[in-house]
Amino acid sequence: MQEGIEVAASAVWQNLKGRQTPIEAAEQQLILDLGVACHRRMLEIHGTDPDAAIELALTGEKLYRHLQEQVPDQPDWVAVHDEQFCRYGAIWIHDQLSAGSCGLDPERHEQRRQLGIALLDRLTTLHGEPPYWLPVMRQSLERLAPPPPPAPSSRLQIAVVGNCQTHPLFLGLQEALPHHAIHFCTPVHMATPADVAQLHQVLGDTDLLVMHRILPGYRDDIGLDGPTLRARLPPKGRQLVLPNLHYEGYHPLIGYANLDPARLAGLAAESPLGDYHDFLAMAAAHRGLDATQLLELRLRPSMAERLRQWHAASLDQLRQREAECGLALSPWIEQHWRSEPLFHTFNHPSNRLLEQLLAAVLAWIQPEQPPSTPSLGDFEYLGQHHHGVFPWVWQALELGPWAAEGGRREWTYPWSLRDQLHDSIDFYNRHPWITHDNRTLAKFQLASDLLDLSSHSD
């Protein structure tokens, strides 16, 4: 069906482009009908035939843009469809080029990349305030230029598998190793059976598997655990196990909660911290404290000691995890954690730390090359949410001035610690069952202990 739509649209476009005469009423209706057909069909097939869906989005955008330029007075739904041609077209192009093994020749890869950037630029003009994800995707597309043809004898097939920390790593490897083929698997917590099947197929010809340590049984044995992936490597295949960069020193009181699956629907969208939970706000709500009262509580020496112990234990746990990995970042973290922010959340490192990981991986792959620290750019790939550091923490750990700057939402929106606490306390007051179900967790116990200690003089 889409071939018929594309043929008709191409014929209409050839008749329209460069023409000086006005678009007649019958032609307008034909363009509107073709656009609706493109829109309906692209949404139907994007899951099974993404390449054809992209072509339909590009066709629809081209027709509706021209129509609105020539005849601005159009029904409101035309602008909505036009916006979605740009939005979905750009997203699907980005997904296609980010896959690592997208199957496009270099010329078509570059053509698609430029079209994706153009769609994002046009999408910017269609919004008074562009979507928060648009700058991230544009920067990513800028970095997804097709590599030059590799020298056959030196070409490596590399597969990158792990959590969300691996995507910036993959982008950095693509830029630093343009002569090699790099396959990126969707982050393991989101990977579909189709993603896993494709990865298993790729591993049969893989020279190097770069992966996080994933234990057997993960996600009901979906096929992403380390032993399963290693078993699919050819005899020549090597593996590099990465440490999961997880550090709780800045945010000892923020973590994941135990939630009743029956009540889970929609909760992450309502929660101020999304999938994360502020256990200090939870404990404060349980005691009837508000954000102002919480922020007025002074840090006492016994509290500072507990927070320093948590920081030290978190670094020690990272060192223990690294003992089973091929790289160690904890020595670098220990040198820099106080002077600069290395984590946005306890499991989302900054670009600065990710660049150190990228440099270590490159040094492992190319030990003969002089050491260097590549750049991932200014936009923080994992910085969609930046949790503020509670005053007790930055005082106890003697962090730099950066720690008093507050948090951030959706990459760019400032979020004061007071507002973060207020919103979280209000959330837990609306859902007291969350507190009831999490009172035995270590972070809730730490929050309760700190509140108890704050009322005692040392």
Q: What is the rounded average pLDDT of the residues 227-246?
A: 95
Query: Are residue 336 and residue 446 in the same domain, yes or no?
Result: yes
Residue 172 lies in a domain: yes
- Residue 118 DSSP code: H
Residues 259-308 have pLDDT tens digits of 877 776 678 788 999 889 999 999 999 999 999 999 999 999 999 999 99
End-of-domain residue from the set 218, 242, 266: 242
Query: Are residue 289 and residue 429 in the same domain, yes or no?
Result: yes
Query: Are residue 297 and residue 424 in the same domain, yes or no?
Result: yes
End-of-domain residue from the set 106, 121, 142: 142
Query: Are residue 272 and residue 419 in the same domain, yes or no?
Result: yes
Residue 353 lies in a domain: yes
Residue 65 lies in a domain: yes
- At residue 248 the predicted structure's pLDDT band, cuts being 50, 70 and 90, is very high
Residue 133: pLDDT over 60: yes
Query: Are residue 124 and residue 237 in the same domain, yes or no?
Result: no
Number of domains in the chain: 3
Indicate the range of 227-241, 264-278, 350-364 predicted with least confidence.
264-278
| Residue 191, domain CATH | 3.40.50.12080
Return the residue matching tokens 């790939």: 381
Question: What is the pLDDT, as a whole number, of residue 394?
Answer: 95
Residues 139-168 have pLDDT tens digits of 888 888 776 655 545 789 999 999 999 999
Query: Are residue 236 and residue 210 in the same domain, yes or no?
Result: yes
Question: What is the pLDDT, as a whole number, of residue 151?
Answer: 52
Q: What is the rounded average pLDDT of the residues 75-103?
A: 87
Q: What is the rounded average pLDDT of the residues 16-36?
A: 80
Indicate the range of 124-128, 347-351, 439-443 predicted with least confidence.
124-128
Residue 172: pLDDT over 60: yes
Residue 394 lies in a domain: yes
Strand ranges (E), 124-276:
157-161, 181-184, 208-212, 238-242, 254-255
Question: What is the pLDDT, as a whole number, of residue 127?
Answer: 87
Query: Are residue 447 and residue 381 in the same domain, yes or no?
Result: yes
Task: State the average pLDDT for the chain.
Answer: 89
Question: What is the pLDDT, as a whole number, of residue 146?
Answer: 74
Return the residue matching tokens 């960069």: 245
Please tell me the distance from the alpha carbon of residue 61 to that of residue 289, in angstroms, as a whole number.
53
Residue 349 lies in a domain: yes
- At residue 34 the predicted structure's pLDDT band, cuts being 50, 70 and 90, is confident
List the structure tokens of 203.
């591993």
Query: Are residue 263 and residue 407 in the same domain, yes or no?
Result: yes
End-of-domain residue from the set 242, 276, 292: 242
Question: What is the pLDDT, as a whole number, of residue 264?
Answer: 67
Indicate the range of 61-65, 117-121, 127-131, 360-364 predicted with least confidence.
127-131
Question: What is the pLDDT, as a whole number, of residue 20?
Answer: 66
Question: What is the pLDDT, as a whole number, of residue 17?
Answer: 67
Q: What are the contacts of 50-57 at 24+ separation with CB within 8 A? A: 50/92, 50/95, 50/96, 51/96, 52/2, 53/88, 53/92, 54/89, 54/92, 54/93, 54/96, 54/112, 55/2, 55/6, 56/2, 56/5, 56/6, 57/85, 57/86, 57/88, 57/89, 57/92
List the structure tokens of 83.
């916006």
Q: What is the extent of the structural domain holding 180?
A: 152-242
Please tell me the distance from the alpha carbon of residue 147 to that of residue 216, in angstroms, as a whole number.
35
Query: Are residue 334 and residue 208 in the same domain, yes or no?
Result: no
Which residues, in sequence order, are bridge partners of residue 407?
415
Query: Are residue 198 and residue 94 in the same domain, yes or no?
Result: no
Question: What is the pLDDT, as a whole number, of residue 102?
Answer: 62
Residue 100: pLDDT over 90: no
Residue 248 lies in a domain: no
Question: What is the pLDDT, as a whole number, of residue 315?
Answer: 97
Question: What is the pLDDT, as a whole number, of residue 150?
Answer: 53
Question: What is the pLDDT, as a whole number, of residue 447?
Answer: 98
Return the residue matching tokens 């593996």: 239
Q: What is the rounded average pLDDT of the residues 57-79?
A: 89
Residues 202-233 have pLDDT tens digits of 999 999 999 999 988 999 889 999 999 999 99
Residue 10: pLDDT over 90: no
Question: What is the pLDDT, as a whole number, of residue 160?
Answer: 97
Question: What is the pLDDT, as a whole number, of residue 131?
Answer: 82
Q: What is the rounded average pLDDT of the residues 179-205?
A: 93
Query: Are residue 196 and residue 334 in the same domain, yes or no?
Result: no
Residue 359 lies in a domain: yes
Question: What is the pLDDT, as a whole number, of residue 3?
Answer: 61
List the structure tokens of 417.
């610690």
Is the alpha carbon torsion for 159, 100, 196, 384 positive or negative? positive
Query: Are residue 205 and residue 329 in the same domain, yes or no?
Result: no
Please tell me the distance from the alpha carbon of residue 140 to that of residue 119, in angstroms, as a whole number.
14
Residue 247 lies in a domain: no
Question: What is the pLDDT, as a whole number, of residue 314?
Answer: 97
Indicate the range of 5-19, 197-211, 356-370, 430-444 predicted with least confidence.
5-19
